[in-house]
Amino acid sequence: MSVVLVDAGGTNIGSVRYALQRLGVDAALTSDAATIRTADKVILPGVGAAGPGMARLRELGLIELLRSLTQPVLGVCLGMQLLCAHSEEGDTECLGLIPAPVRRFVEAPGVRVPHMGWNRVVARREHPLLAGLGEDDQAYFVHSYAVPTGDWTLASSDYGQPFSAVIARDNFHGMQFHPERSAAVGAKLLKNFLDS
């Protein structure tokens, strides 16, 4: 099985790659269109802001390629947000593969932005990506923007308001948390993606 990590300039690429190695998968880091097109699984990691993230994909000529992929694709953190329709962050048009908006958390008493730390991930419907997820399982989040819950939501979390922790539409999947920093839960969900 060939797994590629799209080299879109995210600072979490090394840790995602190491998490995959712990699962026995040596993922190639690439921005080469042919390599991405022929991979069995594609992972789009990312940390940072939506505008520069989309600009980097445009610069690499990968936007239409990513939109055309038919194999399983997983967006992680910012990578998940880039799969969506539009982000309030910099008023950015994203890839539009999952018809969801990305909105900034509303600060309130007890709700600091960014959201940082461990938070419970609750399955909203059955899906192979969530196999083995327990009722009290938690994952590690670092983000200021989130996808609200909707038809695309497989699992949610709550930070002042419910938001999507795991999303999917067709062959495109996203995890808002950092599976590479989420211990056994993150490893389990990454393995589910690899086994899908």
Quote the pTM value: 0.96
Active site residue 86: no
Among 115, 143, 173, 178, the active-site one is 178
CB-CB contact of 173 with 167 (8 Å): yes
> pLDDT value at position 79?
94
Among 84, 89, 143, 180, the active-site one is 180
**Looking at residue 113, what DSSP letter applies?**
S
pLDDT averaged over the chain?
94
Mean predicted confidence (pLDDT) in 6-29: 85
> pLDDT value at position 40?
97
> pLDDT value at position 10?
63
Residue 62 has pLDDT above 90, yes or no: yes
Q: In the chain, what are the domains?
A: 3-195 (3.40.50.880)
> pLDDT value at position 15?
83
pLDDT (tens digit per residue) in 148-162: 999 999 999 999 999
Active site residue 115: no
Query: What string of H, E and C letters represents the secondary structure of 115-181?
Result: EEEEEECEECCCCHHHCCCCCCCEEEEEECEECCCCCCEEEEEECCCEEEEEEEECCEEEECCCHHH
Residue 46 has pLDDT above 90, yes or no: no
Residue 98 has pLDDT above 80, yes or no: yes
> pLDDT value at position 12?
66
Among 77, 89, 94, 115, the active-site one is 77
Q: What percent of the chain has pLDDT over 90?
A: 89
Active site residue 173: no
Mean predicted confidence (pLDDT) in 70-74: 98
Distance between CA atoms of 146 and 125, rounded to whole angstroms?
Answer: 19
pLDDT (tens digit per residue) in 114-146: 999 999 999 999 999 999 999 999 999 999 999
Residue 48 has pLDDT above 90, yes or no: no
> pLDDT value at position 11?
60
> pLDDT value at position 73?
98
Q: Closest Cα partner for 130 from 180, 70, 173?
A: 173
